[in-house]
Amino acid sequence: MDVTISQLTRATSLSSTDLFLITKNVNGTLTSLSLPASQIISLIAATTGVFVYTPGTGLGSIRPLSGNNTAIGQYSVVEGGYNNNASGLYTSVQGGTNNQALSSWATVGGGNLNLALSGYSVVAGGWSNCATNWASTVGGGYGNVASGTGSSVIGGLNNTASGTYSSILGGQNNSTNGLANTFILGTGLSAVSANFSYVNNLEVNNNGTSYIVMRDANNARWKMYVTTTGIVSAIPA
């Protein structure tokens, strides 16, 4: 079957000299062909939408033929970008530059200088972010660290979620201080007790039906209102 350059869709490496290409004809039917690697490299310059991959050093791993990427872990994948490293078992780096997924099932989506260092950890993107503990996540931003088990930093600047299952939604220069189940939204906040949420300011729109429920020392629930005269009123919830 004749296949034109414009019909080439994907290429993966079978050896150091030959490449196996999945191709699609004008009717959308998939087929395959094998060409020397040197010919494929020449095609890249003249063809858009051609992705060329080669085996990494890990069993079943794969990386782009160009871009100085490494796939060391077994069944690890580097999909694109430059100078990325997937060295843990089943790790993945989707793109970007200078990103590393170093522990089993860790993932880096993109960005620059991001690190996913523990099992099931994820850094979606951004710059200089780090997920260092099991199942920790950084969504994006700059200089954020999720170091507690199951912790997360959604975004922002220089935030650290170090407590187990703690989370920082955004803002800058916040820290959960190693305290479990703490949550921060704001700027310059530092947790002092576990199981608390921290904000700079909180507004509740009191339209006559809005209230905040609080528990007293006996675990009884109270509805807290602010009256039109500014008096705080509490009734059992």
Q: Which amino acid is residue 42, in one-letter code?
A: S
- Closest by CA position to 138, among listed 168, 165, 112: 168
Residues 192-215, mean pLDDT to the nearest whole number: 82
Run of H or E residues at 71: strand 70-71
**Biggest alpha carbon–alpha carbon distance for the chain:** 84
**87-144 pLDDT, tens per residue?**
999 999 999 999 999 999 999 999 999 999 999 999 999 999 999 999 999 999 999 9
Q: Which amino acid is residue 129, in one-letter code?
A: N
Cα 194 to Cα 181: distance, rounded to the nearest angstrom? 6
- Give yes or no for residue 2 having a pLDDT over 50: no
Cα 163 to Cα 127: distance, rounded to the nearest angstrom? 22
pLDDT category, 216, cuts 50, 70, 90? confident
Phi first, then psi: what are they for 130, rounded to 5°? -145, 130
**44-77 pLDDT, tens per residue?**
544 544 557 788 999 999 998 888 999 999 999 9
Cα 20 to Cα 62: distance, rounded to the nearest angstrom? 13
Percent of the chain surpassing pLDDT 90: 59
- Provide the pairing of β-strand 183-187 with 197-199: parallel
Cα 234 to Cα 237: distance, rounded to the nearest angstrom? 9
Cα 199 to Cα 53: distance, rounded to the nearest angstrom? 47
Count the neighbouring beta carbons within 10 Å of the beta carbon of residue 60: 13
pTM of the model: 0.76
Decide: 79 and 93 in contact? Cβ < 8 Å.
yes
